[in-house]
Amino acid sequence: MTDVDVIVVGGGPAGSCAAIVAARAGLSVVLLERGPFPGSKNMYGGVVYPRILDELIPNWWEEAPIQRWVTRRSTMLLTETQALTVDFRTEAWGKAPYNGATAYRPDFDHWLAGHAEAAGAQLLTSTTVTGLLRDANGAVVGVTTDRPDGDLRARVVIACDGVNSFLAKEAGLYEHTDAKHFTLGVKETLALPKEVIDERFGVRGREGVDIEIIGGTGAVNGGGFVYTNLETVAVGVVLKISKLASQSMRPEQIIANLKAHPGIAPLIEGGEIKEYSAHLIPEAGLKMMPKMTTDGMLVAGDAAALCLAAGIWLEGVNFAMASGMYAGESAAEAIKVSDVSAAGLGGYQRRLSETFVLKDHRKLRRAPELVLSDRVQHLYPQMIANVVERMFRIDNPAPKPGLRRILNQERKRAGIKRRDLMRDTLDGYRSFG
Amino acid sequence: MTPGNFLETMETAEFRVSPDAHIVVDSAICADCTTRECVVACPANLFVPTADGGVVFNYEQCFECGTCYMVCTQEGAIKWDYPAGGYGVVFHRT
């Protein structure tokens, strides 16, 4: 006795892609969203890399509600008074088929959910899922909701219920969760006229800039970001919550300090705050991932910790969309042969393993921990900035000192052991190489 | 940032406030807590120490992020659910 073939919980990128694929396979699909519209609960920095959508929505770039195409990427190291930036720009990312884009999640997610509806999925908003329905053997057979008579039964439940995924926890897919594996993202969206943004960031038309920052978060391990939207600039920080909780500076103060930095302040001066927002990020990759499948249920997106936080690569929406797609395909495959047990749904794990979703995570498995380590966070930015400052400082009549000598002196001044520096360099090479 | 400024900052986010609190904090348990991780970590600054040594939580402007229950070290201090459908934070569309 089922009401529908597939229930998808959560109208974010994972849920909408799961619903699109399942509905297109001819299944009856209900997509449940607890907010008043899809995207209303969703927040990120924000850059999205929609390449994977080529498989679902050809020429998506002609209709997706994007703000700017990222044609310029900067990686910035900050100390209290210094900034070192590596800046890359390319014309190629400003034209079809594009690469990354800034977008507001309430716009983007709402748009993607529209495609799920167009494919035939039934979208139910303002509906909070409160738990799982299980049969006598423990298999998931549906969900309970906060609607009157709100139980819904299905052959497969796809849990795309976000970073806190109470459904994955209830199903026993997480052995444990550890605060050390999460970061808190907080940001301010600041309004500025388009011409001002274009001029300050050196872009035109729909070109946009993505600045990733390390070293700008004080005593709390994490990172910062500045992204250009059409008429706003998003500035924010990502903070390791276990560190945040064990010191005394509040998140809004850490943002305020980043905004006041001499390398950041001129970019956002005069920007009036339009929205302050916050969200958790599953940061630890493979170290925290749950089992992806149980009898009658799959888990995708942030709910499955499929977020790549690897320093120079910060991606989540693409992993959500891809895992949602593969969950939808695998659910359809299992339903077709009437085996929705964990084994019958096993195509999901296989698809994740064979694609970038888990391949990227395996390749970069050491990166999240390295990037958030104390030396990378608190010692190396100062050492590197000092080295560069001395390289470019002209101390005439003294001659230029050798780079090796400067590096050695600054390493000692920062209190870094040669052995640790070599180990971290090797670790970085292995993590990113 | 002054406390007054931050209240204005919080005004920029939209909340459709439910009549029922989705998060309930047991102030008696908090009274025994010396570390108070929630007070510094909540991005909306909703955990407020009280004069009698407890902690009050104001659910109205909650981002539903989950940070508080994750950093809390006191068993049973925070009962955390999502708000009923349609309620709670609503991030802006353009």
Within 8 A of A35 by CB-CB distance, chain B residues are 86, 88, 90
Q: B53: part of which helix (H) or strand (E)? A: none
Q: pLDDT tens digit string along A314-330?
A: 999 999 999 999 999 99
Q: Are A213 and A268 in contact (CB under 8 A)?
A: no
Q: How many other CB atoms are there within 10 angstroms of residue A361's CB atom?
A: 22
Query: What average pLDDT does the structure give for chain A?
Result: 96
More confident residue, A2 or A398: A398
Mean pLDDT within A344-356: 98
Least CA distance to B90: which residue of chain A? A40
Q: pLDDT tens digit string along A83-112?
A: 999 999 999 999 999 999 999 999 999 999
Under 8 Å CB pairs connecting chains A and B tally to 120
At residue B32, the 3 state secondary structure works out as coil
More confident residue, A311 or A239: A239
Q: Are A236 and A279 in contact (CB under 8 A)?
A: no
* Contact flag A182-B70 (C-beta cutoff 8 Å): yes
Q: pLDDT tens digit string along A267-289?
A: 999 999 999 999 999 999 999 99
Least CA distance to A248: which residue of chain B? B40
Q: pLDDT tens digit string along A2-29?
A: 899 999 999 999 999 999 999 999 999 9
More confident residue, B53 or A250: A250
**Which of A309, A304, A268, A308 is CA-nearest to residue A289?**
A304
Residue B13 Cα, gap to closest chain A Cα (Å): 5
**Percentage of chain A surpassing pLDDT 90?**
94
**Percentage of chain A surpassing pLDDT 70?**
100
Q: How confident is the model at residue A199 (pLDDT cuts 50, 70, 90)?
A: very high
> Residue A164 — φ and ψ, nearest 5°?
-85, -5
* Contact flag B12-A273 (C-beta cutoff 8 Å): yes
Q: Among B12, B44, B92, select the one facing A278 at the smallest CB separation.
A: B44
Q: Are A305 and A425 in contact (CB under 8 A)?
A: no
* Contact flag A36-B90 (C-beta cutoff 8 Å): yes
Least CA distance to A250: which residue of chain B? B40
pLDDT in tens, chain B (94 residues): 676 799 999 999 999 999 999 999 999 999 999 999 999 999 999 999 998 888 999 999 999 999 999 999 999 999 999 999 999 999 998 8
The predicted pLDDT at position A314 comes to 93
* Contact flag A179-B71 (C-beta cutoff 8 Å): yes
Residue B56 Cα, gap to closest chain A Cα (Å): 18
The predicted pLDDT at position B1 comes to 66
Mean pLDDT within A171-189: 96
Residue B25 Cα, gap to closest chain A Cα (Å): 17
* Contact flag B85-A147 (C-beta cutoff 8 Å): yes
Q: Counting beta carbons within 10 angstroms of the beta carbon of residue A86, is it exposed (0 to 12), middle (13 to 18) or buried (19 or more)?
A: exposed
**Which of A283, A430, A318, A282 is CA-nearest to residue A364?**
A430
The predicted pLDDT at position A310 comes to 86
Is residue A307 predicted with pLDDT exceeding 80?
A: yes
* Contact flag A276-B10 (C-beta cutoff 8 Å): yes
> Which letter, b or e, does each residue of A244-266 get, where b requires 16 or more Cβ atoms within 10 Å of its Cβ?
bbeeebbbbebbbbbbebebbee
Q: Among A34, A104, A279, select the one facing B85 at the smallest CB separation.
A: A34
Q: Among B67, B84, B94, select the one facing A280 at the smallest CB separation.
A: B67
Residue B15 Cα, gap to closest chain A Cα (Å): 11
CA distance A168 to A299: 7
The predicted pLDDT at position A152 comes to 98
Is residue A1 predicted with pLDDT exceeding 80?
A: no
Mean pLDDT within A328-339: 98
Q: Are A296 and A314 in contact (CB under 8 A)?
A: no
| Radius of gyration of chain A from its Cα atoms, rounded to whole angstroms | 23
* Contact flag A106-B92 (C-beta cutoff 8 Å): yes
Q: B6: part of which helix (H) or strand (E)? A: helix B3-11
**Which of A361, A320, A327, A360 is CA-nearest to residue A346?**
A327
